[in-house]
Amino acid sequence: MNIPSLLWCPAKCEAPPVLDFQPPSTNTRQTAARSSTANQRTKPLMDKPKSSARAYKVIPDKERKKSYRLSATQKQSRQDTEAFKSRVLNLTLDINSLRQQVRQLTQCRDLQVTRMLLDRERMEFEMLVVAKAILFGERRKVSESNHQDGGCNFSGSLINLLHSEGVYEFAVQLDTANQYDCSSVFATVQVLSFVEDDAGADDEEAAALRQICSDPSGCVVEAVGDLSGRLTRRTIIDMFPHTTLDHTLVDYLVELRITCPARLLLFFNARRQILKQTAQIDAFVLFNTIQQGLPTRLLMTWKILLQRDEKLRASRAGKRNAKMC
């Protein structure tokens, strides 16, 4: 075979074999179906006109989904914070409730104090009315008082004025004093002290007053003035025991009229009843009045007997102190 002729001769190419038509596979059909469905879905969206403004929706922080999860420490911290806020709220409500209760109790206390003050003023006024009726004769049937200055003269009897206010005992004593021509003029009449409801805050004087009046709302009415009259024989013997040795001196003292400052105390209870009455006089003024009224012949006897009485009182006081020790 000639080699150059082989190299330069045109090549004879065989025609490719004709392949028959084969149907598409299952994968190809699924892909085509998906593409057609996507085109059908996107086509109506493309036909809709685009809105000029978009609508935004605000999502609260609690409902907003976070892209991360809280750690255990953060969860515990949040729980502690919520518990603390709840406790603070409950305490605030309790404090407000207590403040309201305190305010109500304060108002009740003020009302109670106001009512007690009004009751005390009413009781004081009623007791002063009773005391002035006894001392100054402001009621009927006590017009026998011969003092033009409003003083009290015990020459009249107060038995006709008695009622259920505890005046009987005092009236009997006044009627007894009439036998010795005793009179008095009181300048002031006032409420000296009042029995309080709280017994724990009493001092010695208030405790003694409570023991006499025996219940709260009692009081002591004080009347200060001048007492004028004659001393009884029994009073002279009790005050000056050694005067019984000289009957002439005793007879002269009984007839001697004495005027001295006096202080009368009337103890009332809550029902306006007089429980006790006490008359106090100035002893020094009494002694001076007696010495000025005695004649010279009896003055020396009076002084000697007075010294004996002082020694007797001193010895009695010493014996009393010895018994107490």
42, two tokens? 């996107």
Distances in Å between the Cα of 26 and the Cα atoms of 29, 31, 56 are: 5, 9, 45
**Confidence check: pLDDT of 40 > 60:** no
Distances in Å between the Cα of 109 and the Cα atoms of 95, 115, 139, 199, 201 are: 21, 10, 39, 19, 18
The tens digit of pLDDT for each residue in 61-100 reads 777 776 667 788 888 898 899 999 999 999 999 999 999 9
The tens digit of pLDDT for each residue in 293-302 reads 777 777 777 7
- Phi and psi of 66, rounded to 5°? -100, 150
Q: Which of 65, 71, 230 is nearest to 154 (CA)?
A: 230
137, two tokens? 């004769």
Answer whether 193's CB lies under 8 Å from 221's CB.
Answer: no
- Phi and psi of 264, rounded to 5°? -110, 130
Cα separation, 222 vs 189, whole angstroms: 6
pTM above 0.85, yes or no: no
For the chain, domain boundaries:
104-324
